[in-house]
Amino acid sequence: MEQNFTYDSLFNFSKLVFEKMGCSNKQATEAANVLLSADLRGVDSHGVARLSGYVRLWEAQRVNAQPDIKIIHESPSTAVVDGDSGLGLVVAPFAMQVAIDKAKNAGTGWVSVQNSNHFGIAGVHAMMALEQDMIGIAMTNASALVAPTFSTEKLLGTNPIAVAIPAGKEPAFVADFATTTAANGKLEILQRKNKPAPAGWVQTKDGSQSTNANELKNGGALLPLGSDREHSSHKGYMLGSIVDIFSAILSGANYGPWVPPFPAYVPMPQNMPGKGIGHFFGAMRIDAFRTAEDFKANMDQWIQRFRNAKTVAGEEKVIIPGEPELEMEAHHKKNGINLLQPVIDDLQSIAQKFELTLL
């Protein structure tokens, strides 16, 4: 069972919830904007379905609703931002804006963030750079669900990377992907449908192959992009490691198995070496390299050449990164956002808690 909601109703509801948590009007607006952008783009796992998770983190006092987010170290093209335990949904736009401001003067800006929390959908942060004719980059570490190649222990998060690149007449190129073979959200869909997972997505607690979509509950792990050694899982492991190090070791956040969990009921790791979760953002001004006009003309040609490539039988076209999400966005803006009953129930219980009405 599902029900349709307008963007505005879900945006306003989310904003009110963040305000009830104690967020300022400005921060509540920013947080609701990031959250709803995920629903618009069809990345349901990072949208309002997570709102209750953020509320529980706040209830567990793992999130500070009135953070003093600030730069604690900087150079002409870099900064480290302390998120003061704020919502990642708010810390991330702050830090991305610092990267953009640095890029205006220095050509590029690079910001590593400590003491933050789950920042929602990576792609939307990276896309902040587009309207400035900049390339935007966003990545974050996350609590450990992934076993490096040869390991039975979970030491890395799904550690996503997003890169947004402006084009001319064509829509921007927006890549946004977990460094695992399958994102956790895809496993959750299979769990709800009681279906098996394809081989190569997860391993058992001993590191054997598994097709059990619930294997993580038995001590198993997600697999890095590549799945197994023969298919270069060490490359996914390296990518996830780079995200971890850029996000947390450059900033002084927690890394590897010490990253704080998103679910508030999961205990915090012992002997944490840093502060909170870490992120990493970048902004590169196109005209610090070439005129934006020349760059965009080449991007348009690139996009058209790839989109019009000959396809494998049965496939309509080669997909340009970001295009499906853009189509989703147009669809959801026009037709509203469908939510599944468990998500609606979740939102209703938040409404009750804060004496709000979910329209």
Of residues 141-200, those binding its own copies (CB under 8 A) = 148-153, 155, 163, 165, 173, 175, 177, 179-182, 198, 200
**Binding-residue total with its own copies (CB under 8 A):** 84
Which residue, chain included where needed, has tokens 């219980």?
349
CB of 259 to its own copies, least distance (A): 12
142: nearest Cα among 120, 163, 126: 120
Instruction: Determine, following the binding rule CB under 8 A, whether residue 71 of this chain makes contact with its own copies.
Output: no
DSSP per-residue letters across 23-78: --HHHHHHHHHHHHHHHHTT-GGGTGGGHHHHHHHHHTT-S-SS---EEEEEETTE
Instruction: Determine, following the binding rule CB under 8 A, whether residue 29 of this chain makes contact with its own copies.
Output: no
CB of 68 to its own copies, least distance (A): 20
Instruction: Determine, following the binding rule CB under 8 A, whether residue 217 of this chain makes contact with its own copies.
Output: no
Instruction: Determine, following the binding rule CB under 8 A, whether residue 226 of this chain makes contact with its own copies.
Output: yes
Residue 179: how many CA atoms within 13 Å on its side-chain side? 29
Identity of the amino acid at 14: S
Instruction: Record the tokens describing residue 358, joined without a space.
Output: 């979910």
Q: Measured from the CB atom, is 73 or 331 closer to its own copies?
A: 73
Contact between residue 280 and residue 113 where contact means Cβ atoms under 8 Å apart = yes
Instruction: Determine, following the binding rule CB under 8 A, whether residue 326 of this chain makes contact with its own copies.
Output: no
Instruction: Determine, following the binding rule CB under 8 A, whether residue 105 of this chain makes contact with its own copies.
Output: yes
Instruction: Determine, following the binding rule CB under 8 A, whether residue 211 of this chain makes contact with its own copies.
Output: no
Q: What does the alpha-carbon distance between residue 122 and residue 113 come to, in Å, rounded to a whole number?
A: 14
Pairing mode, strands 134-140 and 161-165: antiparallel
CB of 128 to its own copies, least distance (A): 18
Instruction: Determine, following the binding rule CB under 8 A, whether residue 333 of this chain makes contact with its own copies.
Output: no
Instruction: Record the tokens describing residue 122, joined without a space.
Output: 């990576």
CB of 198 to its own copies, least distance (A): 5
CB of 106 to its own copies, least distance (A): 5
Q: What does the alpha-carbon distance between residue 260 and residue 278 come to, in Å, rounded to a whole number?
A: 10
Q: Which residues of 218-244 are buried (b: 16+ CB within 10 A; e: fewer)?
A: eebbbbbbbbbeeeebbebbbbbbebb
Which residue stretch of 11-19, 63-71, 101-109, 330-338 sits at the interface with its own copies (rule: CB under 8 A)?
Answer: 101-109
3-class state of residue 331 by DSSP: helix
List 71's β-bridge partners, or say none.
81
CB of 19 to its own copies, least distance (A): 34
CB of 165 to its own copies, least distance (A): 6
Which residue stretch of 33-41, 82-90, 289-297, 332-340 sits at the interface with its own copies (rule: CB under 8 A)?
Answer: 289-297
Site for its own copies in 303-322 (CB under 8 A): 305-306, 309-313, 315, 317-319, 321
Interface residue with its own copies, options 192, 289, 348, 349 (CB under 8 A): 289
Which residue stretch of 26-34, 85-93, 119-127, 297-305 sits at the interface with its own copies (rule: CB under 8 A)?
Answer: 297-305
Pairing mode, strands 70-75 and 78-82: antiparallel
Q: What does the alpha-carbon distance between residue 80 and residue 301 come to, in Å, rounded to a whole number?
A: 37
Instruction: Determine, following the binding rule CB under 8 A, whether residue 295 of this chain makes contact with its own copies.
Output: yes
